[in-house]
A and B are shown apart, each in its own frame.
Chain A
Amino acid sequence: MGKVMAFARLDFQTIRVYLNLKALGIFLVVAVAVGWSTGSDAALLAVPAAMECSWATYPCAMSEKANLDTLYTTLSLSRRTVVRGRYVFALLLVLASLAGGYIVAAALSLVRRQPFEPLLPLGELGLLFAVFSVVIAAQLPIIFKLGYTAARFLAYVPMIGMIVVIVGMGSLSQQEWMASFLTAASTWLLSHPAAVVAILVLVWAAALLGSYALSVRFYAKRDF
């Protein structure tokens, strides 16, 4: 585990120069603007986290640009360690951005003199972490297979796909049959919260493990 965490730290150092005050400023402006205009904690947390998703794959871009895959070999890092470390880094980055959004949400409530429910956004935070980590999990195997430059546009497909699904669900919910299905589903879900959490955790874990297994297989075959 020591080498995996050391690699995640190396990934952070790789993009650290870009995580400057300007980047932090953009993050804060977007978070505050979204939170203020929508009044929604979920939106406040989600939009900056979506921005961070692109940062999560940025070490892959830097690896390609600066020939870091050769460096990793000279550092006695196995390919499996590189993949594992990159997943850890990506998940920690999403977690950090959501935590940042959580702090902004709390601060914004204070400024607007609105009540802040500490536990409610935590649930949203957990759900958003799951969603965004799955988006990254969908992107990383493509990048490990093709390299960042070749996979750059393809890797956005999962994120675009997620948006399409959300928008599609929104318009479908206007349909009577869908509305009644959603009502029934909501009723069931609300009456079985533990099962819902278990299913979500299982789906999330399966997505991440499947993605990791593919990435290990793809990266192991690459020549640099």
Chain B
Amino acid sequence: MSDIPNQAFELRDLTKAYDGFRLGPISFALPRGYVMGFIGPNGAGKTTTLKAMINVIHRDGGEVKISGVDSRVVSMEEVGVVMDTPMYVGEWTIEALRLAIKPFYAQWDDSIFTARLRDFDLDPTKQIKDLSRGMGVKLQIAVALSHHATLLILDEPTSGLDPVAREEVGDLLRQFVADERHSVLFSTHITSDLERVADYITFILDGRVVFSGTTGDLMEKYVRVAGDPSDLSAGQRDLVIGYSSHPTGFDGLLEAAHRAELPPSVLTEKPSLDDIVIYMNKGAHRG
């Protein structure tokens, strides 16, 4: 029997309050070997959650476990952190970065680092400040791979990247989880990146988790609806999340379980992740 915990990480009733913002309590977990997309609009609490997970900010309450161990005492050797901009001195060259951080990782592997730099087309003599955003993300992934991280935590890695670079990052993550011991938590507000990559989705809105489960379950849970507003009674309209009427009709999101409660004249279609985020956000902030 393997002694590796089944869950890559688990958050239980995590809370953090700032002036004007309160996160949680939120709970979700990711089984080992999968990619979780962490989605929500800007300001929903994604970065706060990730920072609390790696103890860059202090949590007010709750538990965070990584590989079954409290995140405050777990070895960060297991965790690769990728921020939207590299957390390295801009004037360092990539080689200087290697020399600077290598002493802190017992399992650092120079040969992997060199190989990844080659794969990612990163020149070791280049200064970090001269890297593009995409290259900065790749560099941080190369670092994580070189200290044998089993969990990658990425904060908006595709933000500001062109579609080709976003595709490359998606490919890297897919390659990473090809090893079943590896897992990825990937925050983004560009949900189209996740439809191809994420096995699980956690959707956060105003500091609360509104969904956490498989991508398939999320996509099946809701349908996009559209039609003539006059076809809906007030009660039926209340079922439509993010209801929006315009001169040509109405649209919104509906829990698939409520489909039978709406008249057949209302059109339904499979929503995109973007649709779900947009309508849920509208629904949460209406009135």
Contacts and interface: CB of A to CB of B under 8 A. Distances in A.
A73 interface: yes
A62 interface: yes
Contacts of A76: 75-77, 104
Interface of A: 3, 6, 9-10, 13-14, 17-18, 62, 65-71, 73-77, 221, 223-224
A76 to B, nearest CB: 4
Contacts of B81: 70, 73-74
B104 A17 contact: no
8 contacts: A13-B96, A13-B99, A18-B91, A70-B51, A70-B83, A71-B101, A74-B79, A223-B57
Contact of A68 (B58, B77, B89): B89
Given A67-B83, A70-B81, A74-B76, A62 B89 contact: yes
Interface of B: 51, 54-58, 75-77, 79-81, 83, 85, 87-92, 96, 99-101, 103-105
Given A6-B104, A68-B87, A74 B92 contact: no
Which one of B51, B55, B79 has the highest number of Cβ atoms from chain A below 10 Å of its Cβ?
Answer: B55
Contacts of A77: 104
A29 B134 CA distance: 44
Shortest Cβ-Cβ A-B pairs, 10 listed: A223-B57, A75-B104, A17-B91, A67-B87, A76-B76, A71-B87, A74-B81, A70-B87, A13-B100, A6-B103
Contact of B51 (A9, A17, A71, A224): A224
Q: Helix, strand, loop or mixed for chain A's interface? A: helix
Given A13-B99, A74-B81, A66 B104 contact: no
Interface of B is mostly: loop
Nearest to B129: A66
B92 A73 contact: no
A73 to B, nearest CB: 5
Given A66-B88, A66-B90, A67-B83, A73 B100 contact: no
B58 A66 contact: no
Contacts of B105: 75
Given A66-B90, A67-B87, A74-B79, A221 B58 contact: yes
A74 B144 CA distance: 10
Contacts of A223: 51, 56-58
B68 to A, nearest CB: 17
Given A223-B57, A223-B58, A73 B76 contact: yes
A212 to B, nearest CB: 21
Contacts of A17: 89, 91-92
A10 B100 contact: yes
B54 A73 contact: yes
A69 B77 CA distance: 16
B85 to A, nearest CB: 7
A73 B51 CA distance: 10
B51 A74 contact: no
B101 A75 contact: yes
B17 to A, nearest CB: 11
Nearest to A224: B56
Contacts of B90: 65-66
A75 B107 CA distance: 12
A160 B249 CA distance: 71
Given A6-B103, A67-B83, A74 B54 contact: yes
B148 to A, nearest CB: 13
A206 B105 CA distance: 35
Contact of A73 (B55, B80, B89): B55
Nearest to A77: B104
